[in-house]
């Protein structure tokens, strides 16, 4: 069975997001952690079949807010949260800019706190698909060390324009290559698709074909929103890769 993740930044209605997740046959959702995750855990957990709930966040690099985020996730694990994906990125001059020197210890403390509480739940990392070649000072290895899954954002297009050559297959391969060179274990690397709001239906198919060719058994789609066309949603619903999951999430 294909593991299919539908990501979301925010929503006005959890019911709308839940309906779309069911329609595209998502087996899991990844919801930014400033949404009402307690409610989402209950709502998605009551479905038949159940849809797993993961949280994600681009966190602050200041210790207090960072560890507050960690504690929030620890508490949500106790409520049934299935996993967490951290999203460290560059943002010059902001308190969430992780492309700075000497942040390795803080990244390790954050991941250790989550790993100790998560037990067998899934921890992952997502960020720019070019990794160190674009953000050389980000503490990649410190984030990777305790992660079960590594999720390069191998998007081929966003609202800012074309990314790379705008080729889903090429960006998929580059994501695996660059994250491997940044210290990631190749078998854990599963590139993401996106952005859905600027994608063509055929590009979704190309992403799925690239995943199949690379032997990956998870698909990650970023992100739900009203700007996504029904034609794209149809291809997300049809998306499938064969055999068993590559990275097991908590049941």
69-112 pLDDT, tens digit each? 999 999 999 999 999 999 999 999 999 999 999 999 999 999 99
- So what's the pLDDT on residue 62? 98
Confidence band, pLDDT 50/70/90 cuts, at residue 1:
confident
* CB proximity list for 250: less than 8 A, separation 6 or greater: 82, 83, 119, 120, 121, 122
pLDDT, one tens digit per residue, over 144-189 is 999 999 999 999 999 999 999 999 999 999 999 999 999 999 999 9
Q: What percent of the chain has pLDDT over 70?
A: 96
Cα 158-160-165 angle, rounded to 5 deg: 65
Handedness of CA 125, 127, 223, 235 (dihedral sign): negative
The CA distances from residue 149 to 17, 42, 68, 145, in Å, are 24, 25, 23, 10
What is d(CA 171, CA 98) in angstroms, rounded to the nearest whole number? 23
Residue 251 has pLDDT above 50, yes or no: no
- So what's the pLDDT on residue 247? 42
- So what's the pLDDT on residue 99? 98
What would the mean pLDDT of 12-34 be, rounded to a whole number?
98
> What is residue 169's DSSP assignment?
H
Confidence band, pLDDT 50/70/90 cuts, at residue 249:
very low
Confidence band, pLDDT 50/70/90 cuts, at residue 206:
very high
Whole-structure pTM value:
0.95
What would the mean pLDDT of 41-48 be, rounded to a whole number?
98
What would the mean pLDDT of 49-68 be, rounded to a whole number?
98
What is d(CA 6, CA 29) in angstroms, rounded to the nearest whole number? 5
Reference 224, options 52, 69, 21; nearest CA is: 21
Please provide the average confidence, as pLDDT, over all residues in the chain: 95
pLDDT, one tens digit per residue, over 216-246 is 999 999 999 999 999 999 999 999 997 433 4
- So what's the pLDDT on residue 5? 98
- So what's the pLDDT on residue 75? 98
What is d(CA 222, CA 199) in angstroms, rounded to the nearest whole number? 10
Residue 248 has pLDDT above 90, yes or no: no
């Amino acid at each position: 069975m294909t593991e299919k993740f539908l990501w979301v930044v925010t929503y006005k209605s959890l019911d709308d997001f839940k309906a779309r997740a069911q329609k595209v046959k998502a087996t899991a959702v990844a919801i930014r952690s400033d949404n009402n995750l307690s409610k989402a855990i209950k709502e998605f957990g009551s479905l038949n079949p159940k849809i797993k709930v993961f949280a994600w966040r681009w966190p602050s690099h200041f210790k207090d807010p960072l560890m507050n985020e960690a504690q929030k996730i620890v508490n949500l694990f106790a409520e049934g949260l299935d996993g967490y994906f951290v999203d460290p990125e560059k943002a010059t001059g902001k308190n969430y800019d992780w492309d700075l020197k000497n942040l390795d210890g803080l990244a390790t403390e954050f991941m250790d706190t989550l790993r100790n509480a998560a037990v067998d739940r899934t921890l992952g990392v997502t960020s720019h698909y070019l990794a160190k070649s674009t953000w050389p000072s980000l503490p990649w290895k410190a984030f990777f060390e305790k992660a079960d899954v590594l999720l390069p954002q191998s998007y081929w297009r966003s609202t800012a324009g074309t990314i790379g050559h705008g080729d889903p297959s090429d960006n998929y391969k580059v994501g695996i290559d660059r994250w491997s060179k940044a210290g990631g274990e190749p078998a854990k690397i599963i590139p993401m698709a996106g952005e859905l709001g600027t994608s063509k239906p055929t590009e979704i198919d190309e992403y799925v074909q690239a995943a199949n060719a690379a032997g990956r058994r998870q698909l990650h789609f970023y992100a739900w929103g009203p700007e996504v066309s029904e034609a794209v949603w149809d291809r997300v619903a049809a998306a499938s890769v064969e055999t068993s999951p590559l990275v097991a999430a908590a049941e």
